[in-house]
Amino acid sequence: MPLLNNQLRVTSCELVKPAVTIVKDADGKYNFKSAERKSTIGQPGSAFGLNDLKLSNGVLVYLDKKTGEKTEFRDFNLAVKDLSIEGTS
């Protein structure tokens, strides 16, 4: 039924060997922030949820371009149950 209402429901997701890089530029802005956000409240699919999210053997790199600091985490594992993100304006 969700697909008939233009909704996609994913109940679980597993990422093996994900590589994530987070960069903070000299102005203090992160590479994952967008300048403009559009409201999705009341639109189909505006909320997101997962019963299970698993990350295994991951790499996370944090780079601060203002200070030049680099932090790296290797071979990390993460398991999250009942993740829910509501649409925001």
Where along the chain do its domains lie?
8-29+47-89
Six token digits for residue 14: 């597993």
> Which residues lie across from 55 on neighbouring strands?
15, 78
Contact 56, 16 (CB under 8 A): yes
What pLDDT, in 10s, does the model give residues 25-62?
999 999 987 656 555 555 555 567 789 999 999 999 99
Compute the distance between CA of residue 48 and CA of residue 60 in angstroms, rounded to an integer.
Answer: 23
Supply the pTM of this predicted model.
0.61
